[in-house]
């Protein structure tokens, strides 16, 4: 097992903590290699202290010869879509990560074709073909999805940083830039920061959470309840009662919309340009911030059908403007929100991934499902 350094900016989480490495070492099934990382939430010394762990240089996985005996573990992508398309990403091993290329996302085809080419090269060389295990499709020994363990942290952080942005503008005006996102020491520390802003604000926002019963929605509601804020909560039943979408009251009755749905396929839009610009009956738009916790701007099924929304936002500039003042509308769409709670998110995630590795890799049902998802995605891009 080879734990790689994360290259993505502001990504300080780790899929395996020192405690998880100790569990895996005790299983006796694996040789454990951990790349050094200047950004990981756990210091290199914490891994060095684990008996059985070997250390390697950051990015050393890229120099390894192709082998079926190495499983490389990370969280975020191995490189950009362009890097994959240009052959800049070495693919000679099995990898575990959040790939975000199995559901038709923009740029996914180039990544999958790079994997198809690597498989073809392996077959020609008569060596085992590499497999991409997407954490979004990996279940643990308890049958629960492992990737979903990050979802409550995404909802919690998304709600917190969305409120930070909304409260900042409520105090300083619509033109004020949203405060940058920074990693918090804990959920409690993040709650304390937002509570201070809330207490200084003239009035609290009205909040709508769509997808309230899922992991992201539960995390968002945990944050809101910690602050004593009420929210309207919609899930499948509530959206069905309202015709599935678009939802006029989402733009006329609320200040903040939290999109926490898990996209599995096409669904009706929640909001559209037409609805934002001309709510029915001549009603005024109240909505001034959308927090896209699901963060699927490049998905053809994104329910936020807004022409100005086509890319994720960043930690440095967490919101993007969709409409100008006086009726300003902004969106927050950050694709690694749990990394703003790196220690707690890593602990929760590693506690699920380590048993899946120790007890079931590679033949267990969870790993078989993940392989099937990869093969299905490859077959889709192979079709003419």
Catalytic residues, by residue number, are 76, 100
Buried b (16+ CB within 10 A) or exposed e, 245-260: bbbeebbbebbbbbbb
Strands 2-3 and 32-35: parallel
Distance, CA of 377 to CA of 372 (rounded, Å)? 9
Distance of CA 238 to the CA centre of its chain: 25
Ordered DSSP codes for 133-167: EEGGG-B-TTS-BSGGGGHHHHHHHHHHHHHHHHH
CB neighbour class for 3 (10 Å; exposed up to 12, middle 13-18, buried from 19): buried
How far is 221 from 187, CA to CA, in rounded Å? 13
Rounded Cα–Cα distance for residues 197 and 38 (Å): 32
- Beta pairing partners, 3: 34, 73
- Partners of 272 in the β-ladder: 305
First to last CA, the chain: 36
CA–CA distance, 10 with 336 (Å, rounded to integer): 8
For residues 109 and 232, what is the distance between their CA atoms, to the nearest angstrom?
Answer: 38
Q: What is the DSSP letter of 295?
A: -
């Amino acid at each position: 097992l080879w734990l790689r350094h994360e290259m993505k900016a502001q990504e300080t989480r780790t899929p395996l903590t020192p405690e998880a490495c100790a569990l895996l070492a005790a299983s006796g099934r694996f040789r454990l290699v951990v790349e050094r990382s200047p950004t990981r939430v756990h210091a290199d010394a914490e891994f060095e202290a684990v008996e059985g762990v070997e250390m390697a240089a950051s990015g050393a996985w890229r120099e390894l010869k192709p082998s079926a005996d190495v499983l490389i573990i990370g969280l975020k992508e191995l490189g950009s879509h362009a890097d994959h398309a240009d052959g800049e990403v070495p693919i000679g091993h099995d990898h575990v990560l959040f790939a975000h290329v199995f559901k038709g996302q923009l740029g996914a085809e180039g990544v999958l074709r790079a994997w198809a080419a690597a498989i073809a090269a392996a077959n020609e060389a008569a060596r085992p073909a590499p497999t991409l295990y997407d954490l979004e499709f990996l279940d643990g020994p308890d049958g629960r999805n492992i990737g979903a363990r990050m979802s409550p942290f995404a909802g919690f952080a998304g709600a917190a940083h969305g409120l930070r942005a909304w409260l900042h503008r409520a105090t300083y005006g619509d033109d004020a830039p949203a405060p940058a996102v920074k990693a918090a020491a804990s959920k409690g520390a993040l709650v304390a920061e937002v509570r201070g802003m809330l207490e200084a604000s003239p009035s609290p926002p009205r909040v709508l959470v769509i997808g309230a019963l899922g992991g992201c929605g539960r995390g968002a509601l945990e944050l809101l309840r910690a602050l004593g804020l009420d929210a309207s909560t919609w899930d499948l039943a509530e959206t069905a009662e309202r015709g599935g979408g678009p939802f006029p009251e989402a733009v006329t009755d609320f200040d903040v919309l939290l999109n926490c749905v898990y996209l599995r396929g096409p669904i009706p839009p929640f909001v559209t340009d037409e609805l934002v610009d001309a709510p029915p009956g001549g009603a005024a738009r109240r909505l001034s911030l959308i927090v896209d916790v699901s963060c699927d701007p490049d998905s053809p099924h994104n329910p936020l059908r807004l022409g100005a929304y086509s890319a994720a936002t960043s930690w440095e500039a967490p919101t993007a403007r969709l409409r100008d003042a006086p009726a300003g509308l902004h969106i927050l769409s950050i694709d690694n929100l749990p990394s703003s709670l790196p220690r707690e998110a890593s602990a929760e995630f590693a506690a699920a991934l380590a048993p899946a590795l120790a007890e079931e890799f590679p033949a267990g049902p969870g790993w078989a499902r993940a392989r099937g998802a990869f093969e299905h995605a490859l077959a889709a891009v192979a079709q003419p």
